Amino acid sequence: MCPPHDPPRPAAPPNPDRDEANDRHARAARELQIRTAQLELIDRQLALVCWTTDSELRLTSVFGTGIPDLPSDPQPYLGQPVHAYFATAGVPEALREQSEAAHRLALTGARSAYQRALGGQLAAVQVEPLRDSAGQITGCVGAMLPLTAPIRLLHELQSSHDRLQTLTAQLLNAQETERRAIARELHDQIGQELTIMTMQLQDLVSAEPAQLPAHVEEVIATIDQVLAKVRTLALDLRPSQLDDLGLDAALRWYFERHCSHARLHLHLDLTPPHPRAPAAVETTCFRIAQEAMTNILRSAQASQVWVTLASDGAGLTLTVRDDGRGFDVAAAHAQAMQNTSLGLLGMEERAAQIGGRCSIESAPGQGATVRVWLPLPPAGAPPEAMSDH
Ligand SMILES: Nc1ncnc2c1ncn2[C@@H]1O[C@H](COP(=O)(O)OP(=O)(O)OP(=O)(O)O)[C@@H](O)[C@H]1O
Ligand SMILES: [Mg+2]
């Protein structure tokens, strides 16, 4: 006799809803596993700390233990105001206010990014709103990343990139402005003189022989005026002294001309390098000096200007100092980054382009000094590297 068998169980009826829920669950679990692995890797590679808060700014989670000045065990701080956790690193009151403001701002939907000193090093902090799946703000999420050398380098690269972008836009604008000025000058100055000359020549055709010499004198006088204007225009664009006589001659001509027009007392102490600096160095130095002088004329209200040019084996130094009203250099830089002016950034970029430096020292009421250092080719360098005039 065969033992009695259990009757076969009927197969569970297909349930598409349950299968899909299982699928979703498996996918979510897998996603969570991947994200956790990624975060653990980030935590090992980067010394960073991330945290979340609820809408009352109480700490709800902390991830990462990479910042030595913060408690390695955040557990006792969960449920406490978020600042209690950071206060353990001896955060000064002003920084606490900054952090509090950033968290409050996040609750309104805004994102803040700032840098702060923490335990002797600089850290980048970012605070953003934390939202639920419906998009409602339920608290804040923040991250703090110490600015180690490579990361600081990245930040500097980014800010230098931003500066370059600003400068490029400003340069294009400046080019158009310059073209417009030259066109206006050609039209108003030269065009006018040539029209006068045409009329004088027409008079000449119908003039009595006895009047001819006087008419010819008039035409010659007009031609002289046109020539003088063309020469000034050309010199403003690129002084021939710069090519023919050297940097010191060009600087002397330029500063004497502008200071005498503006009744400024000028002190010149110019010793050019020997042998002559390469053309790129001379042009850069001259253009920076031009901008420094233009700024003095436009903004300084100075009565005296001091210009020095000196060199040692390694480089050439130019200083342009005035005794005018001075200005807040940091504020002017910040303004320049908003696309409002080109001069200060342009001077610095010009110098940097050939491996030099340009710094501006000033304070309200204290005049201003533009200091430029540009590298010279080493002694004994091949002639083509020494000069390309
Ligand atoms: N020697 C100076 N004395 C007083 N203020 C100065 C001097 N040089 C610069 N500044 C201030 O710094 C600001 C920025 O200078 P910058 O050369 O960048 O711009 P700008 O001269 O106003 O315009 P531009 O782009 O045509 O040069 C000036 O507007 C001026 O307020
Ligand atoms: Mg300027």
Is the CB–ligand 1 distance for residue 360 below 6 Å? Answer: no
Q: Mutate which of 176, 295, 344 to test ligand 1's pocket (most atoms within 8 Å of Cβ)?
A: 295
Distance 227 CA to ligand 2 centre (A): 29
Measured from the CB, is residue 300 less than 6 Å from ligand 1? yes
Following DSSP, what letter does each residue of 197-214 receive, concatenated? HHHHHHHHHT--GGGHHH
Which CATH entry fits the domain spanning 239-377: 3.40.50.300, 3.30.565.10, 3.40.50.1010, 1.10.10.10? 3.30.565.10
Phi–psi pair at 15, nearest 5 degrees: -130, 90
Average pLDDT over residues 48-68: 86
Nearest to 254, CA basis, from 264, 245, 241, 243:
241
Q: Indicate whether residue 167 lines ligand 1 (CB < 6 A).
A: no
- Assess contact for 237 and 276: CB atoms under 8 A: no
pLDDT confidence band for 2 (50 / 70 / 90): very low
Query: Does residue 315 surpass a pLDDT of 80?
Result: yes
Binding site membership of 189 for ligand 1 (Cβ less than 6 Å): no
pLDDT in tens, 5-40: 556 666 666 777 777 788 888 888 888 888 888 877
Q: Which atom of ligand 1 is nearest to the CA of 170?
A: 25
Confidence at residue 86, expressed as pLDDT on a 0 to 100 scale: 77
Least confident of 106-120, 257-271, 353-367: 106-120
Q: Is 324 in the pocket of ligand 1 (CB under 6 A)?
A: yes
Q: Whose CA is nearest to atom 3 of ligand 1?
A: 300
How many angstroms separate the alpha carbon of residue 231 from the centre of ligand 2? 24
DSSP state of 186: I
How do beta strands 368-375 and 137-146 pair? unpaired
- DSSP class of 81: B
pLDDT at 385: 44
pLDDT of residue 239: 79
Average pLDDT of the segment spanning 79-88: 83
- Euclidean distance between CA atoms 81 and 96, whole angstroms: 12
Could you tell me if the CB of 347 is within 6 A of ligand 1?
no
Residue 162 has a pLDDT of: 78
User: Which has more confidence, 286 or 244?
Assistant: 286
Residue ID of nearest Cα to ligand 1 atom 31: 299
Q: 279 CB contacts (<8 Å, ≥6 apart)?
A: 243, 387, 388, 389
The yes-or-no verdict on residue 90 having pLDDT over 80 is no
Note whether 365 and 194 are within 8 A (CB): no
What mean pLDDT is reported for the chain?
A: 84
Secondary structure (DSSP) of 83-130: HHHHHTT---HHHHHHHHHHHHHHHTT--EEEEEEETTEEEEEEEEEE
Residue 371 pLDDT exceeds 90: yes
Residues 6+ apart with CB under 8 A from 29: none
CA-to-CA separations, 338 to 322, 335, 358, in angstroms, rounded: 26, 5, 20
Q: Phi first, then psi: what are they for 350, rounded to 5°?
A: -60, -45
Q: What is the pLDDT of residue 94?
A: 64
Q: Greatest CA separation found in the chain?
A: 156
The minimum-distance atom of ligand 1 relative to the CA of 367 is 3
- Residue 368: its pLDDT value, please? 97
Q: Is the pLDDT of residue 256 over 80?
A: yes
CA distance 43 to 37: 10
Give the residue with greater pLDDT, 255 vs 236. 255
298 lines ligand 1 (CB under 6 A): yes
**98 or 264, higher pLDDT:** 264
Question: Which residues lie across from 319 on neighbouring strands?
Answer: 308, 371
CATH number of 28-147: 3.30.450.20
Give the pLDDT confidence score for residue 384 in this predicted structure. 47
Percent of the chain with pLDDT over 90: 35
DSSP helix/strand/coil, 266 = strand
* CB of 332 shorter than 6 A to ligand 1: yes
Distance (Å, whole) CA 252 – CA 238:
14
Determine the distance separating the centroid of ligand 1 and the alpha carbon of 299, expressed in angstroms. Answer: 6
By most ligand atoms within 8 Å of CB, the mutation choice from 327, 337, 347, 361 for ligand 1 is 327
Q: pLDDT by residue (tens digit) across 116-157?
A: 766 666 788 899 999 988 899 999 999 888 777 666 677 777
Instruction: Indicate the angle between helix axes 149-185 and 343-353, nearest 10 degrees.
Output: 110
Q: With bands split at pLDDT 50, 70 and 90, how would you rate the model's confidence at 334?
A: confident
Q: Is 341 in the pocket of ligand 1 (CB under 6 A)?
A: yes
Specify whether the backbone of 304 is left (phi greater than 0), alpha (psi in -120 to 50) or beta. beta
Residue 232 predicted with pLDDT over 50:
yes
Give tens-digit pLDDT for 171-202: 777 777 888 878 887 887 788 888 888 888 98
User: Which residue's CA is minimally distant from atom 22 of ligand 1?
Assistant: 341
- From the CB of 285, is ligand 1 less than 6 Å away? no
d(CA 288, CA 311): 16
Strands (E), 214-303: 265-270
Closest of 242, 350, 367 to residue 299, by C-alpha: 367
Domain boundaries along the sequence of the chain: 28-147, 148-237, 239-377
Q: Provide the pLDDT for residue 96.
A: 74
Question: What pLDDT score does 1 carry?
Answer: 42
pTM above the 0.85 mark?
A: no
Nearest CA to ligand 1 atom 8: 295
Q: How far is the CA of 294 from the centre of ligand 2 (A)?
A: 6
Gap between the Cα atoms of 374 and 230, Å rounded? 32
